[in-house]
């Protein structure tokens, strides 16, 4: 079999200049099919056997695979890409499942896959041996639509693969009435019809010349556009949607990108740049950047009944047991990246049937009132620290000045280096030559009172070892290990000799006894702390700080693993020898954060920086907030427009440290933006 991902027209140079330019743009768009279909093959290999997807009726131990005929080589993607593409597959399938459930006995549905690429959805749902598709039996037919060059490859694979051609039937014939070039095929329940969707007239002819799409109200017409109309000028894409909306009993499922907080929001900026660099710029999103604008779009184009949300809303609607199963199949510690990705993709299901009731309607996200701003000075610095998910400590240098020591993290691979960051006018860093033995490389640990606590190797390999670094001799000393390995935990200094440890993820469920631990550095012992005057769930990815002068601490946000929910609370606490005493709890939607950092700026106010949320995408106005613990009042600290638009600023995996009485520094961190590339942050000095 020829390589299905090789595009034979790429080598052609027979076009005139303008034709070549247009053709190249088309080929770049077709090229996005290669990456997408390979990622879906990775999902098929990983999840299908473990989750019982597409079980064969001829052998219950066998899983039917469909992507493998188009991507014969085994493909392995990152955990976040795997989870994201599982969600994309689930998005389309869940909409189709909801439609087929509403069909009357005399109704059937035809699915028109616009820009289908090598998507084998038709073969999956038409396969009589696929038990997962039993509900579609004798109720569904398919029309695949895409560029002629791409469909020609797909049809050839189809003809060369008995396992696929058997599914659609042996009556394969060229439908010259539909396509004069003879590139399409048609069977009783499957057609492949070449069409350039940029030409609305050609698409209109396709609709008018296809018997099953003619004005039969008993046929439910379902049009799917999974990131296909996104590359077209919105005027052209709107014409396609409008033409389908004019057909009776039509439904439209669209999955494409969003920029809900504008083109300069860090993930949006990176996503747009990625597609532009690959000569397949996203165009519809410039006109329709939000869920609400997409709803208005479809309602104006003939689809008055619509249901839409982002993919994170869809993920949260997946049954908890399924989400837990997915977590068990591939251990996962990329929640911030997943949040960012899923907030940037739309799932919209619309119909021109006003009586249609959606099985699962998206709930409108809770609107958050804008906070009153407090404007402070931000200064971009020269510190170019390309490290994520390390840990830092503020220490006294030999000349009594302050400096930051940064340990571990990844760049992109895990490291055990300790870096010395000098806080002079020209911020710089150098590696400290610490004496061996060195702590093993790790990420998602803490570094408090010069003690490195826990962390992880892979997401399923938490570390329980503890190491102390002597400031004078630069000698590491291994201390007594934690009772269990943990990462994504918090630790704060409650005295020069004591560290309070809270929460985190572990290979075991953290008991109420081990939720809070106090580590006595001199005695090298751990004491379990009870919670008094309230309750705090065991949270991973929370933020914690403690004011030793007042004996008051704060915990913000975090993920409750057992319930897969995220805290929107700020817990104010104090502690004695054996108890963490809850003094107050403040709830607010903007406190629902994972991976944030917090810092007491004075006795009454806590600075909250970054992280991600399952409920909203943070912007330059609410990424940083200030909480008055006494008044229980929140204010936003806007990031200056110039910094937001000019620099990369993913407030993920970063560090927050006070460097003097009037300034804090935000440094390190960044993100791997799904499949759109990795980004490191600019370091900022903020006056308070």
pLDDT digits (tens, 9 = 90+) for 559-572: 999 899 999 999 99
294-316 confidence digits (pLDDT tens): 999 999 999 999 999 999 999 99
- Please state, as a whole number, how many other Cβ atoms lie within 10 Å of the Cβ of residue 638: 18
18 pLDDT more than 60: no
Distance CA 245, CA 310 (A): 22
C-alpha angle 18/21/24, rounded to 5°? 150
Residue with tokens 């005399």: 106
10 pLDDT more than 80: no
- In three-state secondary structure terms, 155 is helix
Mean of pLDDT values over 322-351: 96
pLDDT reported for residue 11: 39
Mean of pLDDT values over 404-428: 91
pLDDT reported for residue 210: 83
579-583 contacts: CB < 8 A, separation 24 or more? Answer: 579/529, 579/530, 579/531, 579/532, 580/500, 580/516, 580/529, 580/530, 580/531, 580/532, 580/536, 581/532, 581/533, 582/531, 582/532, 582/533, 582/534, 582/535, 582/536, 583/533, 583/552
166-185 confidence digits (pLDDT tens): 999 865 554 444 444 457 89
Which range has the worst mean pLDDT, 4-8, 117-121, 641-645?
4-8
Judge whether 465 and 481 are in contact, CB under 8 Å: yes
Global pTM reads: 0.93
237-268 confidence digits (pLDDT tens): 999 999 999 999 999 999 999 999 999 999 99
Mean of pLDDT values over 386-410: 90
Mean of pLDDT values over 123-142: 96
Q: Which residues are catalytic?
A: 88, 231
Domains annotated on the chain, with CATH: 8-351 (3.40.50.150), 390-635 (2.120.10.80)
pLDDT reported for residue 474: 92
C-alpha angle 482/327/598, rounded to 5°? 55
Judge whether 131 and 57 are in contact, CB under 8 Å: yes
19 pLDDT more than 60: no
pLDDT reported for residue 524: 98
- Listed in sequence order, the residues at least 6 apart from 215 whose beta carbon sits closer than 8 Å to its beta carbon are 247, 248
Judge whether 142 and 209 are in contact, CB under 8 Å: no
54 pLDDT more than 80: yes
Which range has the worst mean pLDDT, 409-413, 540-544, 649-653?
409-413
C-alpha dist (Å) from residue 153 to 3, 123, 157, 483, 646: 9, 16, 6, 58, 43
199-221 confidence digits (pLDDT tens): 999 999 999 988 778 767 789 99
343-373 confidence digits (pLDDT tens): 999 999 999 999 999 988 888 777 888 999 9
pLDDT reported for residue 32: 56
Which one, of 77, 78, 82, 97, lies nearest residue 51 by Cα? 82
Q: Provide the edge-to-edge strand list for the sheet that holds 345-351.
A: 173-174, 185-186, 190-194, 140-146, 108-114, 219-226, 250-257, 345-351, 305-310
C-alpha dist (Å) from residue 179 to 166, 186, 204: 23, 11, 13
pLDDT reported for residue 180: 46
pLDDT reported for residue 183: 76
Which one, of 622, 601, 628, lies nearest residue 610 by Cα? 622
Phi-psi region of 381 (alpha: psi -120 to 50; beta: other; left: phi over 0): beta
pLDDT reported for residue 26: 54
pLDDT reported for residue 260: 97
């Amino acid at each position: 079999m020829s390589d299905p991902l090789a595009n034979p027209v790429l080598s052609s140079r027979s076009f005139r200049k303008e034709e070549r330019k247009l053709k190249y743009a088309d080929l770049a768009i077709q090229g996005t099919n290669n990456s997408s279909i390979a990622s879906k093959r990775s999902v098929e290999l990983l999840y299908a056997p473990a989750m019982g997807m597409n079980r064969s009726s001829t052998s219950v131990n066998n899983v039917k695979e469909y992507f493998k005929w188009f991507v014969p080589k085994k493909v392995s993607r990152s955990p976040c890409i795997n989870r994201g593409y599982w969600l994309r597959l689930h998005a389309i399938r869940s909409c189709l499942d909801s439609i087929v459930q509403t069909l009357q006995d005399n109704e059937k549905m035809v699915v028109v896959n616009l820009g289908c690429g090598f998507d084998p959805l038709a073969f999956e749902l038409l396969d009589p041996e696929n038990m997962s598709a039993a509900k579609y039996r004798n109720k569904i037919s398919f029309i695949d639509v895409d560029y002629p060059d791409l469909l020609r490859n797909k049809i050839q694979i189809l003809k060369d693969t008995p396992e696929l051609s058997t599914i659609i039937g042996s009556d394969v014939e060229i439908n010259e009435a539909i396509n004069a070039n003879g590139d399409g095929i048609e069977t009783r329940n499957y057609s492949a019809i070449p069409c350039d969707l940029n030409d609305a007239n050609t698409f209109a002819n396709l609709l008018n010349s296809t018997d099953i799409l003619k004005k039969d109200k008993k046929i439910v017409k379902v049009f799917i556009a999974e990131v296909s109309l996104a590359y077209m000028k919105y005027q052209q894409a709107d014409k396609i949607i409008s033409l389908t909306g004019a057909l009776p009993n039509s439904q439209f499922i669209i999955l494409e990108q969003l920029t809900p907080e504008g083109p300069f929001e860090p993930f949006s900026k990176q996503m747009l740049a990625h597609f532009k660099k690959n000569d397949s710029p996203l165009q519809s999103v410039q006109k329709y950047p939000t869920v609400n604008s997409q709803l208005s779009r479809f309602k104006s184009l003939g689809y008055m009944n619509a249901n839409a949300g982002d993919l994170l809303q869809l993920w949260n609607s997946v049954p908890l047991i399924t989400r837990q199963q997915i977590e068990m199949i591939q251990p996962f510690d990329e929640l911030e990246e997943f949040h960012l990705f899923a907030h940037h993709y739309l799932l919209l299901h619309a119909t021109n049937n006003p009586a249609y009731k959606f099985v699962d309607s998206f709930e409108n996200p809770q609107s958050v009132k804008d906070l009153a701003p407090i404007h402070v000075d931000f200064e971009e610095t020269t510190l170019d620290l390309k490290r994520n998910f390390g840990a830092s400590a503020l220490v006294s240098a030999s000349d009594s000045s302050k400096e930051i020591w940064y340990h571990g993290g990844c760049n992109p691979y895990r490291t055990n280096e300790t870096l010395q960051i000098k806080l002079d006018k020209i911020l710089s860093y150098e590696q400290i030559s610490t004496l061996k033995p060195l702590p093993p490389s790790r990420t998602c640990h803490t570094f408090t009172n010069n003690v490195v606590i826990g962390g992880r190797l892979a997401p399923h390999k938490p570390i329980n070892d503890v190491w102390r670094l002597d400031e004078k001799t630069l000698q590491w000393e291994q201390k007594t290990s934690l009772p269990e390995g943990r990462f994504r935990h918090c630790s704060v200094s409650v005295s020069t000799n004591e560290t309070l440890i809270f929460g985190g993820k572990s290979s075991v469920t953290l008991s109420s006894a081990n939720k809070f631990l106090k580590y006595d550095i001199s005695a090298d012992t751990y004491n379990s702390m009870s919670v008094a005057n309230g309750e705090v769930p065991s949270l991973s990815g929370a933020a914690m700080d403690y004011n030793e002068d007042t004996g008051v601490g704060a915990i913000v946000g975090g993920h409750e693993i057992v319930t897969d929910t995220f805290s929107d609370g700020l817990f104010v606490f104090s502690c004695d020898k054996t108890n963490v005493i809850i003094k107050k709890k403040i709830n607010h939607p903007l406190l629902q954060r994972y991976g944030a950092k917090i810092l007491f700026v004075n006795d009454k106010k806590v600075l909250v920086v970054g992280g991600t949320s399952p409920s909203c995408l943070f912007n330059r106005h609410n990424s940083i907030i200030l909480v008055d613990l006494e008044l229980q009042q929140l204010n936003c600290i806007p990031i200056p427009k110039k910094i937001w638009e000019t620099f990369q600023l993913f407030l993920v995996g970063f560090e927050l440290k006070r460097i003097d009485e009037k300034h804090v520094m935000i440094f390190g961190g960044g993100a791997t933006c799904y499949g759109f590339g990795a980004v490191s942050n600019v370091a900022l000095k903020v006056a308070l």
